[in-house]
């Protein structure tokens, strides 16, 4: 079990959210399915699963979640996989809407590797903090990362193309880590993006306590 107290939200409007829930269950990480703005207000971080980015965007509108999502993903720790990565991107090719929430400075192209029949699995290289190594990558109608902006780190790649990128609060992947047979990417997200950030913010809590005590 991981030592964490932060509740991680898993966007559950559509798509492959249940496998992310199972991964967090195995890691012993508190989580909550997010379907409404109220749910989003209860979580410290968010996983946006794969699925269909156009459908998810439609749900954001019908559920009145668009503004809350935009605010959340620009400041809080977020992991977006496949459709989730598309929604977080700066610019999107092959879509009626050509910009995402701009939570991370990347340009992506939807369905860049062909349609469903062209979904594929292969090994790529990832660095989850302990140096580069091989990692299984499952691509399903995957987007391609076509541009990586300044300050965005490439943490995974395959065939010379980035497949996992990050800035200070966003981890974005074109493949499906929940189908890799390993919970390592989820563990990495929780440890590196959620927990270390919480510890970083501890002085604020101490300061608040001190101030309150002085009143
Ligand atoms: N092609 C999908 C989209 O454009 C993404 C596919 C996936 O998430 N597996 O949203």
Laid out side by side, the sheet with 45-48 consists of 31-34, 8-11, 45-48, 78-81, 170-173, 161-166, 153-158, 120-127, 132-139
Q: How far is CA 93 from CA 73, 97, 207, in A?
A: 20, 9, 46
Tokens of 76: 């809080």
In this structure, the residues whose C-beta lies within 6 A of any atom of ligand 1 are 50-53, 82-83, 86, 110-111, 140-141
Which domains, and CATH codes, for the chain? 8-214 (3.40.50.880)
More confident residue, 117 or 2: 2
- Convert the pLDDT of each residue in 12-61 to its tens digit: 999 999 999 999 999 999 999 999 999 999 999 999 999 999 999 999 99
Residue nearest to atom 2 of ligand 1 (CA): 52
Distance 45 CA to ligand 1 centre (A): 21
Q: What is the pLDDT of residue 115?
A: 61
Of the pLDDT bands very low, low, confident and very high (cuts 50, 70, 90), residue 114 is low
Residues 6 or more apart in contact with residue 57 via CB below 8 angstroms: 66, 87, 97
99 among known catalytic residues: no
63 among known catalytic residues: no
Q: How far is CA 46 from CA 9, 59, 209, in A?
A: 5, 16, 27
Q: Which of 16, 48, 53, 179 to mutate to test the pocket of ligand 1 (most atoms within 8 A of CB)?
A: 53
Distance 52 CA to ligand 1 centre (A): 5
- Percent of the chain, pLDDT > 70? 89
Tokens of 113: 């590797």
Q: What is the pLDDT of residue 46?
A: 98
- Convert the pLDDT of each residue in 69-102 to its tens digit: 999 999 999 999 999 999 999 999 987 888 999 9
Residue nearest to atom 8 of ligand 1 (CA): 50
Q: What is the pLDDT of residue 208?
A: 33
Q: Which ligand 1 atom is at minimum distance from the Cα of 51?
A: 8
Q: Which ligand 1 atom is at minimum distance from the Cα of 176?
A: 9
| Residue 14: burial class (beta carbons within 10 Å; 0-12, 13-18, 19+) | middle
Of the pLDDT bands very low, low, confident and very high (cuts 50, 70, 90), residue 204 is very low
What DSSP assignment string belongs to the chain? -----PPEEEE-SSSSHHHHHHHHHHHT--EEEE-SHHHHTT-SEEEE-SS-HHHHHHHHHHTT-HHHHHHHHHHS-EEEETHHHHHHSSEEESSSS-B---SSSEEEETTTT-SGGG-EEEEEEEESSS-EEEEEEEESSPPEEEEE-TT-EEEEEETTEEEEEE-SSEEEESS-GGGTT--HHHHHIIIIIIIHHHHHTHHHHHHHHHHHHH-
- CA dist., res. 185 & res. 6, Å (int): 17
Q: What is the pLDDT of residue 97?
A: 86
Distance 196 CA to ligand 1 centre (A): 30
Q: Which ligand 1 atom is at minimum distance from the Cα of 55?
A: 10
Of the pLDDT bands very low, low, confident and very high (cuts 50, 70, 90), residue 119 is confident
Whole-model pTM: value is 0.90
- Percent of the chain, pLDDT > 90? 81
Of the pLDDT bands very low, low, confident and very high (cuts 50, 70, 90), residue 209 is very low
Average pLDDT over residues 153-159: 97
178 among known catalytic residues: yes
Average pLDDT over residues 1-11: 84
Q: What is the pLDDT of residue 1?
A: 62
Is the CB of residue 185 less than 8 Å from the CB of residue 173?
yes
Q: What is the mean pLDDT of the chain?
A: 90
Query: Annotated catalytic residue: which of 31, 178, 186, 195?
Result: 178
Residue 189 has pLDDT above 80, yes or no: yes
């Amino acid at each position: 079990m991981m030592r964490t107290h932060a509740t991680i939200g898993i966007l559950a409007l559509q798509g492959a959210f249940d496998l992310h829930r199972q991964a967090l269950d195995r890691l012993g990480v508190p989580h909550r399915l997010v379907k409404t703005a109220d749910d989003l207000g209860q979580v410290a971080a968010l996983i946006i699963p794969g699925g269909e980015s156009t459908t998810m965007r439609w749900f954001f509108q019908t559920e009145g979640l668009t503004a809350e999502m935009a605010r959340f993903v620009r400041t809080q720790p977020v992991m977006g996989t496949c459709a989730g990565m598309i929604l977080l991107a700066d610019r999107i090719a092959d879509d009626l809407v050509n910009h995402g929430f701009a939570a991370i400075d990347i340009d992506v192209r939807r369905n860049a590797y062909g349609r469903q029949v062209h979904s594929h699995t292969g090994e790529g290289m990832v660095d989850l903090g302990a140096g580069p190594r091989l990692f299984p990558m499952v691509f399903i109608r995957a987007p391609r990362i076509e541009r990586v902006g300044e300050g965005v780190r490439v943490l995974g790649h395959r065939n010379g193309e980035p497949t996992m990128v990050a800035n200070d609060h966003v981890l974005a992947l074109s493949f499906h880590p929940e189908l890799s047979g390993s919970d390592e990417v989820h563990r990495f997200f929780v440890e590196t993006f959620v927990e270390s950030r919480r510890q970083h913010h501890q002085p604020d809590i101490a300061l608040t306590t001190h101030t309150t005590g002085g009143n």
